[in-house]
Structure 1
Amino acid sequence: MAQRKISLNCDMGESFGAWTMGNDSKAMPVIDMANIACGFHASDPMVMSHTVALALQHDVEIGAHPSYPDLQGFGRRHMRLAAEEITQLIIYQVGALKAICESQNTELRYVKPHGALYNDMMRDMSVFESVTDAVSCFNIPLMVLAQPDNQPLLDIADRYELPLLFEAFADRAYLENGELAPRSMPGAVLKDEDDILNQVYQLVHFGKVKTLDGAQLAIEADTICVHGDNLHAIDMIHRIRRVLEV
């Protein structure tokens, strides 16, 4: 299989007030797409504005990273919300970042939900439709997890005339059904550098990923999610970038 052109995306702008999270200034020059938190799991208006400016400085695409309203749990706690609530909370967050982008004469390019909201939309098609309904208002793509069978997602997205971006993860293990292994499972987060780089290589050159059980899944990704929350992670992003450029 010929090598696919795959971008790198990274969660950014997750500081809040006096608290600094991540290494945005070091990660931004190496990535292609910045998923900027919108205030419900992290960030605030000043952090959002500064992160947009940093992305502009390095010619990085700007995406909204909305979440359940869960600052205390960093957006990782599941919430049972009505369909209309999910739609409106996404419109609220994405609309805020869109306005900040426009204030700096740039555009919001896509939406990637965060944490539990992301996981819920991939498992529950009613949640996915609520997210799709919201994002379709902005005429920009929605980023979703690439799976062996994306057709159920495509069927809903087509009804809303919403383009999808498919992503894979550099440092997360997969289950046989194509879902990410829950963080509570042993081995769910890849720690060994060689394992991470091999997973990226397999995704880029063969469109495959190995599951926790050793099976091979065929996955076609447009972008790979990397994390820049510490200096070791920044070094890993550089190494992943080199794999993409080989």
Structure 2
Amino acid sequence: MTVDLNSDLGEGFGAYRMGDDAAMLEVVTSANIACGFHAGDPSIMRRTCALAVEKGVRIGAHIGYRDLPGFGRRALAVPAAELRDETLYQIGSLDAFARAAGDRVRYVKPHGALYHAAAADRTLADAIVAALREFDSRLALLGPAATEMEHAARAAGTPFLGEGFADRAYTPDGLLAPRTLPGAVLHADEAVAQALSIARTGKALTLDGGTVAVSAASICVHGDTPAAVHMAHRIRTALEEDGIPLQAFT
């Protein structure tokens, strides 16, 4: 059994920087690179794609709502047809830089508010999947398993990979706990234990101290989590020492 380790990268904009992308790319096997809507700009996209290819890390399009001021974490009422166009636009933009670096976009992962909205709303999930298939039918969709995202992908014949989060607690119904709640963002020791639990048993921690089933082919460590690179190193080491090899899913 293998597992993929991913992180959200390229999330600066202009003079603003977030996280140590170069260091994180030494650890992860897949990189969800911002496409300019919730974060990122052309120069950051080019640089992050080039670094990913240099390190042998797979490139994914981290699509989001067009919401730079809110970092894509605000729920927006975007019509499905518009979301389809915006998804296609973002994939194409990142793919241009991926190809300039010598590779291509391999998968798509929604960001923030769009991630949660598409997991719950089949119409939005269908719009995202339609854009994936228009661009390249080989593209996979990365998201929470057993949600409308998986249902839409399976119905369309699009490859789907479930995702678990090492550094976030879950609600008892299997959703990510809102960041505003105490204990929602896990510390390094907790994140290492959670990554091992997801990989070994398919279970993650809940805010009430219980566990919930999380089916995941890929485990995420957020690039903007405090000490994210150190945390990712510890998670990778713990997985490998437990006999769980890391390998990109695309």
TM-score (norm 2): 0.90
Which residue, out of 153, 156, 159, partners 2:155? 159
Cα deviation, residue 118, structure 1: 0.7
Root-mean-square deviation (CA), in Å? 1.6
- Matched letter for residue 15 of structure 2: A
CA displacement, residues 181-229 of structure 1 (integer Å, 9 cap, x when unaligned): 11122221113x2211111111111121132223332222111000233
Cα deviation, residue 166, structure 1: 0.8
- Matched letter for residue 166 of structure 1: G
CA displacement, residues 117-153 of structure 1 (integer Å, 9 cap, x when unaligned): 111111222211111111222220010113xxx1754
| 1:126 aligned residue | 123
Closer, same or farther: CA 230–224 of 1 in aligned 2, 3 Å: closer
Distance 2:155 2:112 in 1: 25
| 1:60 aligned residue | 57
Which residue, out of 48, 52, 59, partners 1:51? 48
Which residue, out of 220, 231, 240, partners 1:236? 231
Structure 1: stretches of 5+ with no match in the other structure: none
Confirm or deny: 8 A CA contact 1:13 1:43 kept in the other structure.
yes
- Matched letter for residue 204 of structure 2: V
Distance 2:27 2:67 in 1: 29
Structure 2: stretches of 5+ with no match in the other structure: 242-250
Which residue, out of 173, 177, 181, partners 2:173? 177
Confirm or deny: 8 A CA contact 2:144 2:150 kept in the other structure.
no
| 1:188 aligned residue | 184
% identity of equivalent residues = 44
| 1:145 aligned residue | 144
Q: How many residues align?
A: 239
Deviates more, 1:215-224 or 1:55-64: 215-224
Confirm or deny: 8 A CA contact 2:38 2:72 kept in the other structure.
yes
Closer, same or farther: CA 195–106 of 1 in aligned 2, 3 Å: same
Confirm or deny: 8 A CA contact 1:23 1:231 kept in the other structure.
no
> Does residue 1:100 correspond to 2:97, yes or no?
yes
